Amino acid sequence: MNFSSRLKALRQRNKVSQQELADLLGISTRAWRFYESGDREPNLTGLIALADFFNVSLDYLVGRSDDTNKR
């Protein structure tokens, strides 16, 4: 699973709106939609914030692992 599809799946599984996550990162909802469509990716600070928010490892978030556990 790639980053954009994993991100969308995490958002939907956790029943969080695009607006809530955009607010968390300090971006517009349009920018968030670009993340979910794969047209853009967040910077490192944004990736860390998302991994912390969803309580998953960075490797899981970006699709390098199927193990959600943080180490």
**Ramachandran category for residue 31: left, alpha or beta (phi over 0 → left; psi -120 to 50 → alpha):** alpha
Domain residue ranges of the chain, discontinuous segments joined by +: 3-59
Options 1.10.260.40, 3.40.710.10, 3.40.640.10, 3.50.7.10; CATH for 3-59 is 1.10.260.40
Q: What is the pLDDT of residues 54-63, one digit of tens each?
A: 999 999 999 9
Q: What is the pLDDT of residues 2-47, one digit of tens each?
A: 999 999 999 999 999 999 999 999 999 999 999 999 999 999 999 9
Is residue 63 classed exposed, middle or buried when 0-12, 13-18 and 19+ CB atoms within 10 A define those classes? middle
pLDDT (0 to 100) of residue 67: 85
pLDDT (0 to 100) of residue 71: 61
Closest CA to 21 of 54, 55, 64: 54
Q: For the chain, what is the radius of gyration of the CA atoms?
A: 11
* CA gap 66, 37 in Å, rounded: 20
Predicted model pTM: 0.91
